Amino acid sequence: MELKNHILELIRRASTDLPPDVEERLKRAYEEADEGSTEKSVFNVILENVKLARENSTPICQDTGHVIFYVNYPYGMKEWEITEEIKKATIEATEKNYLRPNAVDPVTGKNSGNNVGKNAPYITYHCWDKDYIEFKLMLKGGGSENVGAQYKLPNAELKAGRDLEGVRKVIIDAVTKAQGFGCAPGTIGVGIGGDRGVSYLLSKKTFFRKMGSNNENPVLAEFEDRLEKELNELGIGPMGFGGKTTVLDVFVDAQHRHPATYYVSVSYMCWAFRRKTMRIMSNGEVEYDD
């Protein structure tokens, strides 16, 4: 029961309280927008929405997203027991309207009504050598998920080869095609390498980085900064209305690949960038991190 309540609080915070680093980036975008522009008006509405959601403990967005957990746990804990508590917390979070019912069976078309079903919530487990358990939660909206893309290099149509220049070309292509449909301004997560599935997993894990951070690899760090600048020069702007800020940040990571493959996965996170981390220490204390 106690673990379930802690997870419920984590879901509530993720759904209703935008992380400070994301809010600060949105404020910067508002300040940089031209006076009297549609862009400035949109950012003003977004920031007011963020404020009201926090004050009233209501969802930041009506699409509360797909519930994704990454759990790091100490030796001795049982995954199936943790899963049961996550499911109980998810059901209660849905009852309390922190989450909208979003789990639909693709065969029958029926909504489970409580966000619980096969791979819903989606949970990834990792047993580590620390003495506390850590939950990383991401609420991934459907609209932003729809504009994600995966490319196989080389790509003849885009004249993109198997190098970072080729990666750059496909990322720009993905964001250009997304326009405002992913609830721009978005944050772009890129996974280079691996197989098709692992490539996408890597791209989404980058979303736990803080705004303004860079990859530890100096080559990728420079690549991220270049992409952020170039993507914002596209002029798509918030919701596709035009403006100076099309993306809030770009996070890129790379992993080893098979010699015969070169996949690039581009995940898109809407402006309602919902992610939270919770750690339950061995003494029972609970820590939250945005």
Would you state the pLDDT for residue 290?
87
**Rounded to whole angstroms, what are the CA distances from 184 to 23, 65, 109, 144, 255?**
14, 16, 29, 9, 28
190 and 260 in a single domain? The answer is yes
Residue 54 in this model has a pLDDT that exceeds 90: yes
Half-sphere exposure of 69 (CA within 13 A, CB side): 27
Half-sphere exposure of 42 (CA within 13 A, CB side): 24
Residue 1 in this model has a pLDDT that exceeds 90: no
Q: What's the token pair of residue 192?
A: 């280079």
- CA dist., res. 65 & res. 20, Å (int): 20
* Domain boundaries, position 101: 2-14+60-141+274-289
137 and 147 in a single domain? The answer is no
Number of domains in the chain: 2
pLDDT tens digits for range 7-30: 999 999 999 999 999 999 999 999
- CA dist., res. 264 & res. 267, Å (int): 10
At 125, which helix (H) or strand (E)? strand 122-128
- CA dist., res. 203 & res. 140, Å (int): 13
- CA dist., res. 139 & res. 102, Å (int): 11
97 and 184 in a single domain? The answer is no
4 exposed, middle or buried (CB, 10 Å; 0-12, 13-18, 19+)? middle
**Rounded to whole angstroms, what are the CA distances from 144 to 43, 257, 267, 288?**
18, 26, 8, 26
Would you state the pLDDT for residue 61?
96
173 exposed, middle or buried (CB, 10 Å; 0-12, 13-18, 19+)? middle
Q: What percent of the chain has pLDDT over 90?
A: 99
Cβ atoms of 44 and 24 within 8 Å: the answer is no
CB under 8 Å to 31, separation ≥6 — which residues? none
171 and 202 in a single domain? The answer is yes
CB under 8 Å to 16, separation ≥6 — which residues? 53, 54, 56, 57, 58, 59, 60, 98
In a domain, 185, yes or no: yes
For the segment 125-131, the average pLDDT, to the nearest whole number, is 97
236 and 218 in a single domain? The answer is yes
In a domain, 39, yes or no: no
72 and 9 in a single domain? The answer is yes
Would you state the pLDDT for residue 242?
97
231 and 166 in a single domain? The answer is yes
For the segment 69-81, the average pLDDT, to the nearest whole number, is 97
Under the banding of pLDDT at 50, 70 and 90, the label for residue 45 is: very high
125 and 216 in a single domain? The answer is no
- CA dist., res. 184 & res. 223, Å (int): 21
Would you state the pLDDT for residue 103?
97
pLDDT tens digits for range 167-179: 999 999 999 999 9
In a domain, 30, yes or no: no
At 280, which helix (H) or strand (E)? strand 274-280
In a domain, 258, yes or no: yes
Dihedral of the CA atoms 114, 149, 270, 95 (nearest 10)? 0
Cβ atoms of 248 and 268 within 8 Å: the answer is no
DSSP codes, 100-124: ----B-TTT--B-SSS-BTTBSEEE
137 and 177 in a single domain? The answer is no
pLDDT tens digits for range 76-102: 999 999 999 999 999 999 999 999 999
Would you state the pLDDT for residue 6?
98
pLDDT tens digits for range 202-224: 999 999 999 999 999 999 999 99
In a domain, 83, yes or no: yes
In a domain, 172, yes or no: yes
Would you state the pLDDT for residue 276?
98
Residue 189 in this model has a pLDDT that exceeds 90: yes
248 and 118 in a single domain? The answer is no
In a domain, 45, yes or no: no
pLDDT tens digits for range 264-277: 999 999 999 999 99
- If one counts every other C-beta atom within 10 angstroms of the C-beta of residue 218, the result is 9
118 and 168 in a single domain? The answer is no
In a domain, 180, yes or no: yes
State the pTM of this model.
Answer: 0.95
Under the banding of pLDDT at 50, 70 and 90, the label for residue 149 is: very high
Averaged pLDDT of the chain: 97
186 and 172 in a single domain? The answer is yes
pLDDT tens digits for range 219-246: 999 999 999 999 999 999 999 999 999 9
Would you state the pLDDT for residue 272?
97
- If one counts every other C-beta atom within 10 angstroms of the C-beta of residue 211, the result is 18
Q: What percent of the chain has pLDDT over 70?
A: 100
